[in-house]
Amino acid sequence: MLTIDAVSAHRGKLMALSDISLTLDRGKTLAVTGESGAGKSTLIACILGLLKPSGGTITWSGAPVRTCRPALVMQEPRMAFNPALPLLQSVLEPLKARRAMVLPDRLTRLCKGLELSPELLDRKPAEVSIGQAQRAGILRALVAAPPLILFDEPLSALDSVTQKHTARLIAELQAEEGFSSLIVTHDLGYACACSDRIAVLRSGRIEEAGTPGSFVAAPQTEYGKKLRDAAFALGALEAAE
């Protein structure tokens, strides 16, 4: 289980996160939402160890997060792959780094789940659609079976139909594989649809946190209400439900 305890972080002189505490249970999903500049990406960088928090601790079942080797799915799917290499080479990097065997059965099963054909993985990033590239990115995250996967705006580069399709594949795979996922998204509709718990970030602080249902029904704060109403106005949330 992921425990984020009183974490603060700086970007240069700017306080990007202050006193963030969150937990994520095994196999569950936590969605973190908020506007750009709210500190979402900084939070991900801290969890992955790319940025050293200036205070607080982040642990996975009591040990440093690094020990569980969390995987990351990025916003720009094509950027996450070396443009000169076939997708498969990048996809297998986590196994290669661990000197682990490729299990053909598992790979085939994951590919099937993500609707990726083996032929597609032999292509270079520029030769596949952006949705396919993102599914390959998810495949890479899953290939070494990490217990925790972080999703940084995983759908925002996709169009609306592909978004929903990809979101469903992620949810199905999670049910099958049992990993925990932390999803960062500015799309409140997606955040509410995919998660067990949702946290709203604003200028580096947690504005409010709760279950998606209770948040949509009755936001606790003024800002939360604003966010929800905007999501209604843009059609990201359906009003009646």
The single residue listed with the structure tokens 């202050």 is: 18
**For other proteins, which residue of 110, 136, 167, 183 counts as binding (CB under 8 A)?**
167
Interacting stretch for other proteins, rule CB under 8 A, among 1-9, 55-63, 183-191, 214-222? 183-191
Q: Specify the residue, 5 or 35, whose C-beta has the smaller distance to other proteins.
A: 35
Residues 85, 132: contact at Cβ < 8 Å? no
Alpha-carbon torsion angle 228, 230, 236, 239, nearest 10: 60
Half-sphere exposure of 74 (CA within 13 A, CB side): 12
Binding mask 199-218 for other proteins (x = CB under 8 A): --------------------
Is 48 a binding residue for other proteins by CB under 8 A? The answer is yes
**For other proteins, which residue of 16, 32, 43, 74 counts as binding (CB under 8 A)?**
74
Strand blocks (E) in the chain: 2-11, 14-24, 29-33, 55-60, 63-64, 71-73, 148-152, 180-184, 197-202, 205-210
* Range 11-24 burial, b when 16+ CB lie within 10 A, else e: eeeebbbbebebeb
Is 70 a binding residue for other proteins by CB under 8 A? The answer is yes
Is 109 a binding residue for other proteins by CB under 8 A? The answer is no
Is 174 a binding residue for other proteins by CB under 8 A? The answer is yes
Interacting stretch for other proteins, rule CB under 8 A, among 18-26, 101-109, 112-120, 189-197? 189-197
Token pair, residue 199, equals: 């946290």
Q: Specify the residue, 193 or 209, whose C-beta has the smaller distance to other proteins.
A: 193
In the chain, the largest separation of any two C-alpha atoms, in whole Å, equals 52
Interacting stretch for other proteins, rule CB under 8 A, among 55-63, 114-122, 203-211, 224-232? 224-232
Q: Tell me how many helices (H) and strands (E) the chain has.
A: 10, 10
Residues in contact with other proteins by CB under 8 A are 12, 29, 35-36, 48, 50, 69-72, 74, 76, 79-84, 90, 93-94, 96-98, 129-130, 140, 144, 158-165, 167-168, 171-172, 174-175, 186-190, 192-194, 196, 226-227, 229-231, 233-238, 241
